[in-house]
Each structure stands twice: as C-alpha cells, then as structure tokens.
Amino acid sequence: MNTTLVKQNWYKRNEIAITPWLFLVPGLIMFAIYVVFPIFQSFRISLFKWDGLGSLATHGEYIGMANYEKLLTRDRSFNISLWNNLKWLVFYLASIPAGLFIALFLNQTVRGIRLYKSLFFFPFVISQIVVGLVFTWFYDPQYGLFNGIIGFVGFKPLNVLGDPTLSTYGVIAAGLWPQTAYCMILYLTGLNSVDPEQTEAARLDGAKGIKMLWHVILPQLRPATFIAFVVTVIGSLRSFDLISIMTNGGPFGSSRVLSFYMFEKSLSEYGFKMGYGAAIAVILFLIMMVFIGYFLWRMYQDEKATNG
Amino acid sequence: MRSVLKATAVSLATIVALAAPASAELTGNLKINLDTSNPAPRATMEALIAKFQAANPALNITTNVIDREAYKTQIRNFLSADAPDVLTWYAANRMKPYVEAGLLEDVSDMWADGTDIAKELASTKGALTVDGKQWGVPYTYYQWGIYYRKDIYQELGLSEPSNFDDMLSNCEAMIASGRKCYTIGNKWLWTGAGWFDYLNLRTNGFNFHMQMAAGEIEWTDPRVRETFANWGKLIRMGAFIDDNQNKDWQQSLPFMIDGSAGAILMGNFAVSPLREGGLTDDQLDFHQFPAITAGIAMAEDAPTDTFHIAANAKNKDNARAFLAYIVSADAQTEMNNGANLGQLPVNSKASVDDDKFLNKGFEMLSSNSPGGVAQFFDRDFPAEMAQAAMEGFQEFMIYPDNLDDILDRIEGVRKEVY
Amino acid sequence: MFPKPIEKSSRTWQLGYQALLPTVMLLWLAPLLAVALFSIRPDSDFLVGNYWGWPSSFEMAKNYGMVFGSAMPRYIMNSFLITMPTVIGAVALSCMTGFALGVYKFRGNLLIFFMFIAGNFVPFQILMVPVRDLTLDIGLYNTKTGLVLFHIAFQTGFCTLFMRNFIKALPYELIEAARVEGIAEWRIFWFVVLPLMKPAIAALSVLIFTFIWNDYFWAIVLTQGENAQPVTAGITSFNAQFRAMYHLMSAGSIIAALPPVLMFFLMQKHFIAGLTLGAVK
C-alpha cells in the first residue's frame, strides 16, 4: 500500500516527463524493428557475399568493400541504372510545372468544377500497377493508341518500350501522369489560400498573366512547391512498380534504375546476390539521404522560426 | 547414419505400402506447391491430386498454385520459411543452389538400386543428381524443335530443311512471300536462349556447349563467334518478327496463327495454344532443328520438370508416397497425354499418347539425338551467367552489330561467376 | 483570385472554357477510358484487331463475370484484410506518437520526430532484405499479418509527421487549462486532444488506405499466392493466366482499382486535406 503510494507520487511528480515516452514506446519499437535496424543490417549485409538461401552467419562470406568496388568500377548495369535514376529525377520534375498548369486551368468556380477537379486527380488514386498496364497497351507497337496518334500526325510508328533509347522515357511519361495529378492537387489547395487582396493590388498596378504568376502568385505558393518538389524527388528515386510492370528493366537492361536493379540482383528469378543487392540499396539510400537531409534542414529552420 | 537408415526404412515402407494402398492409407497432412498455373497443366495436376486424395481419403491435402513466373522468385522464400512438403521445380543447375543450401530433401533412397524408380526412370537420373545423390523425381519432359505451318511451306513449295543452307533458302522464300520466317517473343529472355542453344549445339556440338555451361570456354572464343555469325545471318535477313524484344511468347503465337510468320522454335507446350488458336494438325507440323556443321552429332534440348521434397517439410513420408505416385506408369500416362500436359512421360513403362507431336518428339529424342540431351540454357548455365548472356541475346537479336560489345560483357560476367 | 475568374471575362471566353474543360478531361483520362472500353469488348474484337473502333458487341457481364469467377475476389478480400488493420494500427500508433511529440517539450523530441520523417522517406530497397529475413524468422512470411506489421511500422513515420503537425497547431491553452484542473495526462489525450483530432484521423485513414491498397513492392517481397497476396500482386498473376486476353485483363484492372477510387470519391474532402497538409501554412 505504502509503496504504491510512493510510486504513484513518483509518477505524479514526473508525469509530464514520463507520459510522452509512454506514448512513444509502441511506435518507436515498431519503427525501430522494421525501419531503423534494417537500415543498419543492410549496411552490414552489403559487406558479404551471400546467396540468401541460408543464414548470413553460416552461409555468408565476408568480403569487405568488394561489392562496392565491383559496383563502382566494373558494373555497366549499375552505371545504366544510375544514369536512368538521374533521368527520372530530372524529367519527373516536369510534373511540378505541369501540375501547376492544370491547377491554374481548373482554378475557377464554374458549375461542376469540383467534379472536374476530382476527375483530374483520378490517376493518382489508382495503383501504379494499373497505370503501368494501361500505358503498356497505350505504347503497343502494333495496336497502341500512341502509334495511332503519332501516325495521324505523320510520324513513323515507334516501339517505345522496346527501344533502349526510349524505354526509360516511356516509363517516366507514364509516371508523370499520376504525379502531375498529385502536384495539381497541391497547387489547387495552395491557390485557395493565395491572398486575394495582394492579387487585386497587383492587378491595379497593371500586373497580369505570366508576370503576375511569377512575381505575385508563385512566391505565395512556395510551401506547395516545396512539398511538390520533395514528393516528386522521393517518388522518382522510388520508381519500381512501373518499371517492373512495363519493361521489367528491359530491353536488355536499358530501363533499369537502382531500385529495380537491386531487386533484380537479390530476389528475381536469376538473382541470388543479397550482399551485392544490399550494396546497391546502400548507394541508393545515400543518394536519397541528400534529399532527406535537405528536407529535414528546411523543417528544422521552420521549427526554429516557429518556436524561437 | 542411423537416422539415414531409419529414414530409408521408413520411406521404403511407405513405397511398399503404396503398392497395396488398401492396406495402409495415408493420414495427416500433405502440402503441395505447384507452378503449373496455366489452365491446362493446372487442371491436370488438380485432377491427379484428386485421384491421390480419393485413394487416401484420410489425408488432408492442401494445394497452392502459384503463378509460374512468380514461383521462380518465391521458391527460395517458401523453401526456407513456409516449406511445403512437395513442390515442383526444374532439374539440373536450376535446382543446384537449393540443393547446396540444404533446402531440398535427399531422396536417393527412392532411387536406390532395385526400386521401380531406378528401373523405370533411369534415363533421367543424371538430371536429378548432384554430388552423387538424387534430390527429386521428374514428372514430365518435352522436346524443343521447330513448329511450322505446313500449309504455308507447301504453298511456297518448301520442304523441311535438313541443313542450314536449306533453312536459309526456305527463309528467303518465306520473306519473298511477305512473311517472316520465325516468330519469337523475347521479353522474358528465355526464348532467345532456345535459339542460342540450338545454334550452338549444331555449330559446335553438345560437348562444347556443356563446356561453355561449365565456364570452361571464353565467350569471345572464335567458335562461339561462329555460332553468333550463323544467328546473325538469320537476323540480318529479317527472319524474325519485329519488336520481339517486348513481346512475351504468348504474344508471339498470333503471328504463327494468322500466317504472318511461318515457324517458331519452341518447346512442345506451344502446341496446345496453337491448336486453341485454330491451327489444325494438317496446318501445323514439327521438324528437328537442322544440322549446321556437318559431322556434328545432333543434340536436343529436352527440359525436365521435377517434383521435390522440401528439406523443411513436415510430412516427408506422405511426400515420398506422393512422388512415388506421380512417377508411376499409370499417373505418368495420364498426366502427359494430349488432353492434359501433352508432353512426354518420364516413366519408361508409361505409354506416350498417340499424338502427332508427342510421337515425333519421342522418336527424335530416343533415336535421333545421339549427341546428347541438354536441359535448357537457363537450367544448364548458372543463374547469373544465364541472366547476363540472355540479356545479350536479346540485344543481339535487335542490334546484331553490337556483337563485340555484347560478347565482351558476357565474358566479363563469366570471369566473375566461375 | 488567380487566374482571373472566368465569369469576369467575355462571353466567348466563358463558352470556350466550358467547352475546353470536358475536352481536356477526356484527353487526360483517355488511357483509362480505353481500358474501360477494352473491358466491355468481346475477345473476338482483339483477334481481328479492332482495338479502338466501336465494340462489335458489349460483353460487360460476361467479362466481369469471368473476373469474379477467378481468384480475383480472394485477392480483393486479402487487400481489405491487409489494408484495414494497417490503417487502424498506423493511425492509432501515430495518434500517440503525434501527441507525445506535439504536446511535450523534452530532450530528443525533435530528434525522434526527424527520425520518423527520415524513415518515412528511405528507399524500400534498403529495408527489403532484412525485413524479409525478419518476417521469415518470425514465421510470418506469406501471411497477411506479416505484411500488416511491416506496413504499420513503416507508415508510422508518415503518420507521425502528419499527426504531430496537426496537434502542434491545436490551441495549447486547452491542454494547459486541463492540467490546471488536475486532469491526468492520459485523460487529456483521450478526452481533450483525441476528439479534436477527428478530421486528421479521417484524412489520414483515407490516405493510408490508398497507399496500402496500391502497394506492390512489399506484396511481392513478403507474400506469394492466393492466400495472402493483395490485389496489386494478384493482378499480375491474373494477367499471366489470361495473357493477351485484353478484355479480361482490363476488367481485372478496373476491379482492382475500384476500391481506392470509391474511397476517394466518398471521402474526397478528407483525402485532399490529408494530402495537402503542409502544402499550405
């Protein structure tokens, strides 16, 4: 009785210090087990030669930095993947201006505009698997709508997904579809909170069109642009589903990106190289960390500003 | 040692028991993983399992059919984690990594001298042997070769080619008539590997091919280049359908059906969809891949599909009984007949279904393949080697001029793998 | 308002805009409409190459019937059984973490918060091999539970970001007033904060539902076969089974895409609120 009382008092006295930890524990444990530790484990696995069929301890062979050395010096598939990641990064960003453009187009108050807005947003809601299938048919060299269209304009038919110089762009274009929808919705919300007085004031000063957009509207849309930038960059580096459905990395490995190459090396039909795959994953992780770091730094600045 | 003896005794007992099923019905569970996801093979397997169930009503059988392509990546997961008792897979190098990782059950006892399996399945024993032990049983095999539109050949006055020059001149006639000679869908890479297998087997022979599989020959070797030179002749004359790099094999069949391509190099499993597509046996015929280098013994690809027991299986006795049932002459006859798998039975006492293509294939393999029988490129070559090489084949079929680069790359992988 | 409201422009402009809207929308959704069209065609249309013309007959009932006769309903069921618990789990956990990080000042608060955010953005591949091994080791490989546990853990990162920012924006005076009255901290969470979080919970639930429903990568890494795989993975085996049968593949795709689409239309307001949190300050 006495001890519980003491305990209670102790708890009571420290309630504000202890409570947050009690609330954090379940989430932290889950997150540590499934996210934090695995990252370190992957770093470790990347130093081994391991086929993944037995445990790492018994079947793995420690080879130090050999996986990285091979990746960085004499693996052409890795170079192609890295290069394609860069293409993804650059061209995927097109979804930001495209999203802004559509948002501006839809930012009206005519009848039924709400329905239009949601229909435009549609592609983001359906899974990338379905998007991938749809675009694969769209590009079909024989029957696809794509060749129908460019044929109509007078171009020769293309086998987009079968051409090593085009396949990556073909997949990126498919990815742009849902991503543009995403950016569009971010900008639509952003446009909602654009200060009408500023706009009117600028209008009275004779600003309109592009000039108005650039000098008055875009600065106010900066939070939306920032989020759009972050999700687009992360999305581009995560691209996997579309590639796996549309080209399976082909033809002859020309549309691989790191995330796909990693999966291929470690878990696909002919891949038994867990250590090598982990090394690819680590490199992808480090690239991603640059952007995550930037994002966190920006958030940190915001936090300081609001708290300080 | 004692446990091995014990296991052998137990399994012998079950095999004996199976011979007299009425006296000892199986009980407990049996979990089967199948990769036979295409409609016809799926139905066949399910029917056979139903019969096994009927003979053993007390046995609780669960069957898990997994998509054939997905199965190839999932096998490693379920073997270690969620092991079934019985599973389908492929012979030779394709099963080797799992054998080496200790994930498959040693079933040498079932193959011991004097058993029915040893007597009736002798010809396939080699394909299931690693380190002198057997790791599963075969359940079907099938020939590869050229399936062609007989009616189109006749219309153009062509006959089955007996050597490479015939093959080329046939092809020229075919192209002159506005058709392609061969259809192929090479998105998943293995169809192109079939072409490499045959061109290499015919250009350099079975032993050379197997030396390559063992990593003993450089890919930049002039003899290998000779194989590619022959292949290049076909590619450059436009023998293959366009855009084959992103079609799967099923998508390549309509070209054959509508007559815009005259033939296909494929395994016998292509016959059933071609028939379903509307081709009659008068239109569709089969011939052996013609000779290229004179004097080289003909050798064939005849992949063997197999059943194994997982090392982590919980019901190994039931599993052994099931394997014994699957390879029995009756089950083999039924499983492989034209209405079901439409392939060749592995049991010498089983009868080959009276089907035009099966008869031709059986005859070819039993009497006209003196050079030897290969499993298939991705079963004979180690996985990483196969992947890199097949990607090279895919590129070569579209850009034959990149050959030097392709071979250098494959050779680089060979140096790493072996 | 920008751009200039259309009703303030000339009549022709207004009519032009009204006409442009549906046209652009049709173009934008053309790929989807094509699939919808495919899914009601008879298979003979594909054999004769009639891909884009008027369907020779309408076979909606037959095609969709075939899909429902396949393993598709099981995959859809699996998707629900994976998605629902994940939504509940991730939202519950993040209500707690968000509360802890949004209300209390303590050392390491920002560090933990940033760890959740960073974790939410890491590439899946860096987790793949260890998570797969872990799932194998605890015997949850190829189970819905295994997939759910991982999804909950991973989504906690994003959800915490969301919840913490939401709670941070609540009036802190409410909590202080409650403390003055001597209410225990957990009761403050339950009776003061949680009721105010309803819109955030709704928004997050819809969002996570869509994310998890559309997950493909983890589905193929952690599950196999009909007993556990969700519909995104199922559709690839469905397609392997009906390869080149475009009418069935299309019907299958449409059915697979339907639940998140319905969810979106029913809960649109919440969905967009969730998605754009942080886009507006």
Q: Residue B17: what pLDDT?
A: 45
Q: pLDDT tens, B146-177?
A: 999 999 999 999 999 999 999 999 999 999 99
Rounded Cα–Cα distance for residues B263 and B286 (Å)? 9
Mark whether B252 and B384 lie in a shared domain.
yes
Closest chain C C-alpha to B336 CA, distance in angstroms: 21
Spell out which residues of chain C touch residue A234, defining contact as CB-CB under 8 Å.
Answer: 121
Q: Is residue C16 part of a domain?
A: no
Q: Are the beta carbons of B395 and A141 separated by less than 8 Å?
A: no
Mark whether B276 and B228 lie in a shared domain.
yes
User: The domain spanning residue B149 has which CATH number?
Assistant: 3.40.190.10
Q: Is A59 on the interface with B (CB under 8 A)?
A: yes
Spell out which residues of chain B touch residue C237, defining contact as CB-CB under 8 Å.
Answer: 37, 66-67, 70
Q: Is residue C8 part of a domain?
A: no
Closest chain B C-alpha to C1 CA, distance in angstroms: 49
Lowest mean pLDDT among A84-93, B334-343, C137-146: B334-343
Of residues C25, C124, C160, nearest to A119 (C-beta): C25
Q: Residue C264: what pLDDT?
A: 85
Of residues A53, A159, A268, nearest to B98 (C-beta): A53
Helix (H), strand (E) at residue B286: strand B284-287
Q: Are the beta carbons of C237 and B37 separated by less than 8 Å?
A: yes
Q: Is B3 on the interface with C (CB under 8 A)?
A: no
Q: Which residue has the higher pLDDT, C21 or B80?
A: C21
* Residue range(s) defining the domain that contains residue C241: 71-275
Domains: count for chain C: 1
**Counting beta carbons within 10 angstroms of the beta carbon of residue C61, is it exposed (0 to 12), middle (13 to 18) or buried (19 or more)?**
exposed
Q: Is residue C83 part of a domain?
A: yes
Q: Is B236 on the interface with A (CB under 8 A)?
A: no
With a cut of 50, say whether residue B5 has pLDDT above it: no
- Find which of C135, C145, C221, C237 to mutate to test the B interface (most B CBs within 10 Å of its CB): C237
Of residues A20, A30, A127, nearest to C257 (C-beta): A127
Contact B187, B371 (CB under 8 A): no
Q: Are the beta carbons of B97 and A53 separated by less than 8 Å?
A: yes
Q: Residue A5: what pLDDT?
A: 55
Chains that touch B (3 or more CB pairs under 8 A): A, C
Q: Is B77 on the interface with C (CB under 8 A)?
A: yes
Q: Which residue of C has its CA nearest to A258?
A: C125
Contact C237, B37 (CB under 8 A): yes
DSSP assignment of chain A: -HHHHHHHHHHHHHHHHHHHHHHHHHHHHHHIIIIIHHHHHHHHHTTEE--SSS-HHHH-EE-TTHHHHHHHHH-HHHHHHHHHHHHHHHHHTTHHHHHHHHHHHH-S--TTHHHHHHHHHHHHHS-HHHHHHHHHHHH-TTT-HHHHHHHHTTPPP--GGG-TTTHHHHHHHHHHHHHHHHHHHHHHHHHHTS-HHHHHHHHHTT--HHHHIIIIIHHHTHHHHHHHHHHHHHHHHH--HHHHHHTTT-STTTT--HHHHHHHHHHSTT---HHHHHHHHHHHHHHHHHHHHHHHHHHHHHHHHHH-
* Residue range(s) defining the domain that contains residue B34: 2-142+303-350
Q: Which residue of A has its CA nearest to C102?
A: A20
User: The domain spanning residue C132 has which CATH number?
Assistant: 1.10.3720.10
Q: Could you give phi then psi for residue B266, rounded to 5 degrees? A: -160, 165
Mark whether B64 and B187 lie in a shared domain.
no
Domains: count for chain B: 2
Domain A75-272 of CATH type 1.10.3720.10: yes
Contact A174, A246 (CB under 8 A): yes
Spell out which residues of chain B touch residue C227, defining contact as CB-CB under 8 Å.
Answer: 64
Contact B179, B262 (CB under 8 A): yes
Domain chopping of chain A, boundaries: 75-272
- Find which of B38, B71, B82, B258 to mutate to test the C interface (most C CBs within 10 Å of its CB): B82
Q: Is A192 on the interface with B (CB under 8 A)?
A: no
Mark whether B153 and B128 lie in a shared domain.
no
Give the whole-number percent of chain B exceeding pLDDT 90: 67
Q: Are the beta carbons of C96 and A26 separated by less than 8 Å?
A: yes
Spell out which residues of chain B touch residue A253, defining contact as CB-CB under 8 Å.
Answer: 391
Q: Which residue of B has its CA nearest to A273?
A: B384
Q: Is A97 on the interface with B (CB under 8 A)?
A: no
Q: Is residue B284 part of a domain?
A: yes
Of residues B64, B73, B250, nearest to C243 (C-beta): B250
Q: Residue B16: what pLDDT?
A: 45
- Find which of A76, A78, A252, A263 to mutate to test the B interface (most B CBs within 10 Å of its CB): A252
Q: Is B101 on the interface with A (CB under 8 A)?
A: yes
Which residues numbered 79-98 in B keep a CB inside 8 Å of some CB on A? 79-80, 97-98
* B and C: number of Cβ contacts within 8 A: 52
Q: Residue A192: what pLDDT?
A: 86
With a cut of 50, say whether residue B286 has pLDDT above it: yes
Q: Is A248 on the interface with B (CB under 8 A)?
A: yes
Q: pLDDT tens, A139-175?
A: 988 878 888 888 888 888 899 999 999 999 999 999 9
Residue B198 in tokens? 């045959």
pLDDT band at A200 (very low <50, low <70, confident <90, very high): confident
The ipTM of this complex is: 0.90
pLDDT tens sequence for chain C (281 residues) = 678 887 788 888 888 898 999 999 999 998 888 888 888 988 877 766 677 778 888 888 888 998 888 888 999 999 999 999 999 999 999 999 999 999 999 999 999 999 999 998 999 999 999 999 899 888 898 899 999 999 999 999 999 998 998 998 888 898 999 999 888 889 999 999 999 999 889 989 988 999 999 999 999 899 887 889 999 988 887 777 676 678 888 888 888 888 998 888 888 878 777 777 654 43
Mark whether B161 and B120 lie in a shared domain.
no
Q: Which residue of B has its CA nearest to A162?
A: B246
Mark whether B258 and B165 lie in a shared domain.
yes
